[in-house]
Amino acid sequence: MGWLRKHAAYPLLTPGMAWLLIFFFVPMGFMFVKSLQTVTVDETFHQHYTLTWEWSNYTEAIRTYHSQFVRSFLYAGIATVAAFLIAYPLAYVIAFRAGRWKNLLLLLVIAPFFTNYLIRTLAWGTLLADDSIVTRALDAIGFLTVTDALGWTSEHRLLATPFAVVAAITYNYLAFMILPLYVSLEKIDKRLLEASLDLYANRVRAFLRVTLPLSLPGVFAGTLLTFIPATGDYVNAELLGSPQTKMIGNIVQSKFLVINDYPTASALSFTLMAIMLVLISIYARILGTEEVTTT
C-alpha cells in the first residue's frame, strides 16, 4: 500500500504526458531535423530530403524574411498593449463594482468569443470596408487623415492596411486578456484598499501602489496569452491585410501548405519558437512572476 501510494502518481500521469510527448515534443525534434535538411528533386519531380546539417537554412530564412518577423512582433506588441488598455478598466469595473451583476457581466464578456474566429474576422472586414459607416465616420472626423500620415492606413481606406490587421488581432484575442486580469483583480482583498485609503493615500496612489502590483500575475498571464497567439497569427493578415502586411505566419503557412518547401518553413517556424521562448523568459524575469509558469 505504501509503495502504491508513493508511486500512484505515475499511472495517472502516463497517458496524458505520453500524448504530449509523442504529439508535441517529438514533432519539435522532427521539425528541427527537417530544418537542417536539403531537398533535391529527381527527374520524376519527386522530392528527396537528406540531412546535411544545412544551418544556412536558418541564416537564409532570417535574411529573406526578417521584415516579416519584425512586423509580426510589432503588430502583436501593439495589439497586446491596446488589448491591455481596453481590457483593464473593464476587468476592474467587473471585479470591484459589479456586485451581484458580476457573473452576468462576465458572461457578456465571454459571449462574443463563442462565435467562430473566422466569422468574427470577416465581420471586421464588413465593418472596415471602404464604404462602411465606420470608415466614413472615421474619415469625416479626420481620423483617417491622421492615420494616413502615420502610415497606419493609406488613401483614406481602412481595409488592407496595418491598422485593420492590428485592430482585428486586438479584438480577436481580447478574451484572453480580460479573463486573467479579472481573475487576479477579483482575488485582491478589498480591505487592503481600504487600509491604504485610511492611511491617506489618494485613489490614484492606492491604485498604483496596491491594486496594480497585486494584479501583476493577471497582467503577466493576460499579456502572454494575447501576445503569443497574436505573433503566430496569419488569419487576420490574410483576410484583412495586403501583401504589405504579411506576417511570419503567412510565410510559414504558404511554405508548408502551398510551396511545400519544408526545410525553410521548419527553420522559420523553429526560429519563431526560439525568439518567443527568449522573449517570454526575459519578460518573466522583469515582471518577477515566474511562479505563473511553474504552478
Partner 1 sequence: MAYAEATRTEAADRAAPAKPPSQFWRKVRYQLLNVFAGLVLLYLFVPISVIILFSFNDPAGKFNLTWNKFSTDAWAHPFGVPSLQDAVVLSLKIAFLSTIVATLLGTLVALALARYSFRGRGATNFAIFTPMATPEIVMGSSLLTLFIATSGWPIGVDLGFWTILIAHIMFNISYVVVTVKARVYGFDRRLEEAAMDLYANSFTTFRRITLPLIMPGIGAAAALAFALSIDDFIVTQFNRGAEVTFPLFIYGAARNGVPVQVNVIGSIIFLVAVGGMLLNLMIQNSRAKRDARASAGAVRRAQASEAAA
Considering only residues 80-109, where is the footprint of partner 1 by CB under 8 A? Answer: 86-87, 89-90, 92-94, 97, 103-105, 107-109
Query: Smaller CB distance to partner 1: residue 123 or 151?
Result: 123
Cα 288 to Cα 137: distance, rounded to the nearest angstrom = 44
For residue 48 the three cell numbers come to 528527396
The angle at the Cα of 248, spanning 163 to 53, to the nearest 5 degrees, equals 170
Q: Which range, of 52-60, 63-71, 150-158, 251-259, touches partner 1 by CB under 8 A?
A: 251-259
Q: Which range, of 29-37, 59-67, 144-152, 208-216, touches partner 1 by CB under 8 A?
A: 29-37
Instruction: Please report how close the Cβ of residue 243 comes to partner 1 at its closest, in angstroms.
Output: 15
Instruction: Please report how close the Cβ of residue 117 comes to partner 1 at its closest, in angstroms.
Output: 5
Instruction: Pick out residues in 261-280 that bind partner 1 (CB under 8 A).
Output: 262, 265-266, 269-270, 272-273, 276-277, 280
Among 43, 131, 155, 198, binds partner 1 (CB under 8 A): 131
Instruction: Please report how close the Cβ of residue 98 comes to partner 1 at its closest, in angstroms.
Output: 9
Query: Smaller CB distance to partner 1: residue 163 or 171?
Result: 171
| Residues touching partner 1, count (CB under 8 A) | 83
Query: Smaller CB distance to partner 1: residue 184 or 233?
Result: 233
Residue 170 CB neighbours (<10 A): 25
Q: Which range, of 10-18, 59-67, 145-153, 193-201, touches partner 1 by CB under 8 A?
A: 10-18
Instruction: Please report how close the Cβ of residue 125 comes to partner 1 at its closest, in angstroms.
Output: 7
Cα 80 to Cα 279: distance, rounded to the nearest angstrom = 14
Buried b (16+ CB within 10 A) or exposed e, 23-59: eeeeeeeebeebbbbeeeeeeeeeeeeeeeebeebbe
Instruction: Please report how close the Cβ of residue 163 comes to partner 1 at its closest, in angstroms.
Output: 16
- Give the per-residue SS3 of 145-182: HHHHHHCCCECCECCCCHHHHHHHHHHHCHHHHHHHHH
**Contact letters (x/-) for partner 1, 143-162, by CB under 8 A?**
--------------------
Instruction: Pick out residues in 174-233 that bind partner 1 (CB under 8 A).
Output: 174, 224-225, 228-229, 231-233
Instruction: Please report how close the Cβ of residue 116 comes to partner 1 at its closest, in angstroms.
Output: 5
* Residue 62 interacts with partner 1 (CB under 8 A): yes or no: no
